[in-house]
Chain A
Amino acid sequence: MSNLFRAADAASGISGPPSSVEYAADRIFRSIAFASAFIIILLVAYILWEIGEKAMPAVTEYGLGFITGTTWNVSKEEFSVLPEIWGTLYSSLLALVLGGIFGISIAIFLTQDFIHHRMATIFRTIVEMLAAIPSVVYGLWGIYVLIPLLKPAAEWLHETLGWFPLFGTDLAGPGMAPAALVLAIMILPTVAAISVDAFRRIPYKVKEAAYGLGTTRWEAILKVMLPTASSGILAALVLGFGRALGETMALAMLIGNSNQISMSLFSPANTLASLLASNFPEAGQVEVQALMYAALVLLAITFLVNVVGLAVQQYTVRKFEGKK
């Protein structure tokens, strides 16, 4: 690029245009960034294409009946996944409610001057360490610690409040409750860490404004800080929910892998991811096609949840923060 302002060189001894190397570096960085973004899109498209192609025979064979039917019978080659869809959404929703309440509470505790900020950093690190525990360890912990712990409580709840749909059955071993609890612990670090960031991003002047109007600490937190952080907290919940939908190993170990739809917290159930993990190793050609179809359904659910979640989050940003 030629310098159109060469005449200014005489006036300014120091200023000058960027060199051709600097212009080239600019172009190279832009190309790399562009290529990286593009490769991600390609990769997603490729995965979708591969799964779609492998699932195609099952899609044409079972059609929409696959997501409305309730049987998974290998010998009769009858495949449908409504119980798994139910189990996936139910367990994830329960985990989201539990993990969400605890995650947001932890975020409030860590950011709203309840403890010294150095203690808060230590605390936060510990919470984030929950994310480093392997899924299979959570599964083992669930089997050997959580389920025996839950059994007496479940028994009592079923006996005294058995008419209530949530406690409609007894906990025989693995089931929805231990699975959802472990899932809640697993999404807790995600929800907590991102909510902490959302609270940290609130400028100090907002807190000043709240206290300046004479709010108590809880009024400031509930009426000002929480609404201000709401878009970030929603993002945290969407990410946590997405994580819960796809979680496989711990659920396969804890949920009981039983093909049924029940409101009861103590009844065994199944999820799509856990169905895939448990059935793949011994699946024949036809079942593999059905499993690929199930994978496609899981992908669609995850995609839908993310899109809806993002849309809600964008809406709150526009509504509360006035950004176009």
Chain B
Amino acid sequence: MNAIAEALFVAEPFQAAGDIVIDCNVNNIFYGDFLAVRDSTVPIEKKKITGFIGPSGCGKSTVLRSLNRMNDLISAFRFEGSVMYHGQDIYAKKVDPVVVRRYIGMVFQQPNPFSMSIFDNVAFGLRLNRFKGDLEERVERALKRAALWKEVKDKLKNSGLSLSGGQQQRLCIARAIATEPDVLLMDEPCSALDPIATRQVEELMLELKQNYTVALVTHNMQQATRVADTTAFFSVDISRGGRTGYLVEMGPTRQIFEAPREQLTKEYISGEFS
């Protein structure tokens, strides 16, 4: 087989209708020598929910974590390309990743509250940003929006770790939105939640997009159809021996699910993907 003659597939760039808040152009993402993601252009539209879907190992989480430089915690990580945010490449040398993460918040797959009280968990980001206003009011508002207030309002002094898994995840969401970040990245936020809590979080996402931008990685295709305005479908290429993820298709969620352009997308959303 002549691998060189075979041109690599690169998705058509998605032309978003509205303003782009984060314009992500991945050339290559490496973990050491391992090429994890190649050639993917993922524009994140302002005040919209952008869903990332695809099979395990397709690099959708890696791309999401590149948007606020979370992957910098892994020393072997290397990003080639650009992520333009308010006219500035966040991977430029002079950019401090700490500042990027203050504006672009993140909710993780596993609930990860700090071992401190529920109140202190939510107030953490506010205190970090030297917030001078009414701390209690902000904490209450964040907990209400995360659909957790009713359950915890009488035990704000209890440890965040004393809550159940689903409550912990909503606490982490409250912690992330308390500082009202410009963009919120959510990496499979509902994978540890029951259906009721999942619905509540989805409603929260829809409410958040009134003012903020959300990027969401999800394994649940129904979730993508319920909340995402735009959907990016990633796949993983194992034909050349590696496991390199890449963007297959990106477009309005309806179009991706009802009239996909690519055969791979069609197979994945109809469940034919092995």
- Say whether, besides A207-B73, A214-B125, A228 and B108 are in contact (CB < 8 Å): no
Number of A-B contacts (CB under 8 A): 78
* B102 interface hit (Cβ, 8 Å): yes
Bound Cα distance from A208 to B101, whole angstroms? 11
Which of B85-93, B155-163, B243-251 touches A?
B155-163
List the A residue with the shortest CB-CB distance to B118: A322
Bound Cα distance from A205 to B106, whole angstroms? 12
* A319 interface hit (Cβ, 8 Å): yes
Contact of B124 among A113, A213, A318, A319 (CB under 8 A): A213
List the A residue with the shortest CB-CB distance to B181: A214
Distance (whole angstroms) from the CB of A235 to the closest CB of chain B: 15
Bound Cα distance from A214 to B129, whole angstroms? 9
* B110 interface hit (Cβ, 8 Å): yes
A321→B115 contact, CB < 8 A: yes
Residues of B close to A210: CB separation below 8 A: 114
Distance (whole angstroms) from the CB of A203 to the closest CB of chain B: 7
Residues of A close to B116: CB separation below 8 A: 227, 320
A205→B105 contact, CB < 8 A: no
A321→B159 contact, CB < 8 A: yes
Distance (whole angstroms) from the CB of B142 to the closest CB of chain A: 13
* B170 interface hit (Cβ, 8 Å): no
* A68 interface hit (Cβ, 8 Å): no
Residues of B close to A228: CB separation below 8 A: 114-115
- Say whether, besides A227-B116, A320-B159, A208 and B70 are in contact (CB < 8 Å): yes
Contact with A along B159-177 (1 / 0, CB 8 A): 1111100000000100110
Bound Cα distance from A243 to B116, whole angstroms? 30
Residues of A close to B75: CB separation below 8 A: 113
Bound Cα distance from A207 to B73, whole angstroms? 9
- Say whether, besides A208-B73, A209-B172, A227-B114, A215 and B128 are in contact (CB < 8 Å): yes
* B213 interface hit (Cβ, 8 Å): no
B128→A212 contact, CB < 8 A: no
* B68 interface hit (Cβ, 8 Å): yes
* A223 interface hit (Cβ, 8 Å): yes
Contact with B along A200-230 (1 / 0, CB 8 A): 0001011111111111100100011001100
Bound Cα distance from A220 to B249, whole angstroms? 38
A209→B161 contact, CB < 8 A: no
List the B residue with the shortest CB-CB distance to A116: B75
B159→A212 contact, CB < 8 A: no
A205→B110 contact, CB < 8 A: yes
Bound Cα distance from A227 to B112, whole angstroms? 14
Residues of A close to B161: CB separation below 8 A: 320-323
Contact of B125 among A211, A213, A216, A322 (CB under 8 A): A213
* B35 interface hit (Cβ, 8 Å): no
Residues of A close to B95: CB separation below 8 A: none
A212→B115 contact, CB < 8 A: no
Bound Cα distance from A169 to B110, whole angstroms? 59
B108→A214 contact, CB < 8 A: no
Distance (whole angstroms) from the CB of A46 to the closest CB of chain B: 41
* B5 interface hit (Cβ, 8 Å): no
Residues of A close to B163: CB separation below 8 A: 322
List the B residue with the shortest CB-CB distance to A211: B73
- Say whether, besides A224-B114, A227-B116, A228-B115, A212 and B105 are in contact (CB < 8 Å): yes
* B3 interface hit (Cβ, 8 Å): no
Residues of A close to B101: CB separation below 8 A: 211-214
List the A residue with the shortest CB-CB distance to B125: A213
Bound Cα distance from A322 to B172, whole angstroms? 16
A213→B108 contact, CB < 8 A: no
Bound Cα distance from A224 to B113, whole angstroms? 10
Distance (whole angstroms) from the CB of A322 to the closest CB of chain B: 3
List the B residue with the shortest CB-CB distance to A203: B112
Contact with B along A175-214 (1 / 0, CB 8 A): 0000000000000000000000000000101111111111
B98→A212 contact, CB < 8 A: no
Bound Cα distance from A322 to B161, whole angstroms? 5
Bound Cα distance from A224 to B160, whole angstroms? 13
List the A residue with the shortest CB-CB distance to B163: A322
Within 8 A of B (CB), among A238-273: none
Residues of B close to A211: CB separation below 8 A: 70, 73, 98, 101
- Say whether, besides A206-B114, A209-B172, A320-B159, A215 and B108 are in contact (CB < 8 Å): no
Bound Cα distance from A174 to B172, whole angstroms? 56
Residues of A close to B102: CB separation below 8 A: 213-214
Distance (whole angstroms) from the CB of B131 to the closest CB of chain A: 13
Contact of B108 among A209, A224, A321, A322 (CB under 8 A): A209
A209→B128 contact, CB < 8 A: no
A213→B158 contact, CB < 8 A: no
A227→B115 contact, CB < 8 A: yes
A206→B124 contact, CB < 8 A: no
Within 8 A of A (CB), among B140-161: 158-161
* B99 interface hit (Cβ, 8 Å): yes
Residues of B close to A322: CB separation below 8 A: 115, 158-163
Given contacts A320-B116, A322-B115, 9 further A-B contacts (CB under 8 A): A205-B108, A209-B175, A213-B105, A213-B179, A214-B128, A319-B159, A320-B159, A321-B159, A323-B161
Q: List 14 A-B contacts (CB under 8 A).
A: A203-B112, A206-B114, A206-B115, A208-B70, A208-B112, A209-B108, A212-B105, A212-B176, A213-B179, A214-B125, A219-B128, A321-B159, A322-B161, A322-B163
9 residue pairs, one from A and one from B, having the closest CB atoms: A322-B162, A322-B159, A214-B102, A214-B101, A205-B112, A322-B161, A209-B112, A212-B106, A320-B115
